Structure 1
Amino acid sequence: MTEKLTVGCLEMCSLPDIGIHNLEVRVDTGAKTSSLHVDHVKKYSKKGKPWIRFDIHPDAYNVEDVIKCESALFDVRSVKSSNGVSEERYVIKTLLQLGDKSWPIEITLTDRSDMSYLMLLGRQGMAGKVLVDPSQTFLLTSSDS
């Protein structure tokens, strides 16, 4: 068996393929899918393939700070949000880095502006890779690194 990371309910992560680093993520074993709060989503074509452009504000307290991202479109899915409403969401596949480990995950892009955390790491994104200690936070890094 491969060594699994033990994580708390909050951790710092990076999505290096799309230029996002040191992002607080809520680890949620109750959520099936991982999701990321984005703005200004625009679908376009690159070399005949569907791509997505979007903005992220990595610091919720400084909305002037914007990272412009782009990624190949992996899928479009109907996802039931925490309030029970289903919505169509764009899905990207990108590298997640937690501590000194990294692996590809699927992330839905959505409006999480009414949530406390910009990113949610769901079961599919952590399956076989992590163990969660819900009583702890920032086991892999400090939140101000």
Structure 2
Amino acid sequence: MADDKIILGWREWVGLPALELEQIRAKLDTGARSSSLHVEQSEEYVEAGVLWVRFAIDPVAKRDRTRTWFAAPILDKREVTDSGGNRTLRPFIKTPICIAGQTYEIEINLTNRREMLFPMLLGRTALVPRIMVDPALSYTLGNFDPEAMA
């Protein structure tokens, strides 16, 4: 039922607090199953028998413009088909997302999205069952707020 869902536009500002990104532009894509985040670099390693990924967030997405490194256990590695039909094996992590006043965990894969207009893509699994997308709308949650990144 649509009554209990939040209606958002095809692009919105969202937050990834565990990755120190209070605001990042995201394309809400119901045609994509999984969500993706642009990272500058990544490397996998094993710690205490668990596979982890160390990755650098794009400094353009951060106010201080410094490359920040993060690490997270790899939840899974899955083959992802991009919009051009190319398949790649990508690491998936879990992280909280803040969107429309709600915070909840989502799975995202880490990849180089440098050539894309949006550093983040939110797929169906991050939207269901909370959010409906109206493709006629855009930035329904408001515009970029530089003060939020202070």
User: What TM-score, normalized by structure 2, do the two folds share?
Assistant: 0.86
Q: Conserved in 1, the CA contact under 8 Å of 2:21 and 2:62? A: no
As a proportion of its length, which structure holds more helix? Answer: 2
User: What TM-score, normalized by structure 1, do the two folds share?
Assistant: 0.89
Distance verdict in 2 for CA 1:58–1:132, change over 3 Å: farther
RMSD (Å) for aligned C-alpha atoms: 2.2
Instruction: Return the letter of the residue paired with 1:124.
Output: T
Q: Conserved in 2, the CA contact under 8 Å of 1:51 and 1:71? A: yes
Q: Which residue is 1:48 aligned to?
A: 49
Q: Conserved in 2, the CA contact under 8 Å of 1:20 and 1:67? A: no
Q: Which residue is 2:23 aligned to?
A: 22
In 1, the alpha carbon distance for the partners of 2:6 and 2:67 equals 30
- With 112-121 and 2-11 compared, the bigger mean Cα shift is at 2-11
Q: Percent identity?
A: 34
Deviation for aligned residue 1:47 = 3.3
2:105 maps to 1:112: no
Structure 2 gaps of 5+ residues are none
Q: State the Cα deviation string for residues 85-135 of structure 1 (Å, max 9, x = none).
A: 111001111111102101111101111111111000011111101011111
Figure out how many residues of one structure are paired with residues of the other and give that number. Answer: 145
Q: Which residue is 2:94 aligned to?
A: 93
Q: Conserved in 2, the CA contact under 8 Å of 1:11 and 1:143? A: no
In 2, the alpha carbon distance for the partners of 1:77 and 1:60 equals 26
Q: State the Cα deviation string for residues 45-79 of structure 1 (Å, max 9, x = none).
A: 23332111101115269995323222111000011
In 1, the alpha carbon distance for the partners of 2:73 and 2:83 equals 26
In 1, the alpha carbon distance for the partners of 2:45 and 2:14 equals 27
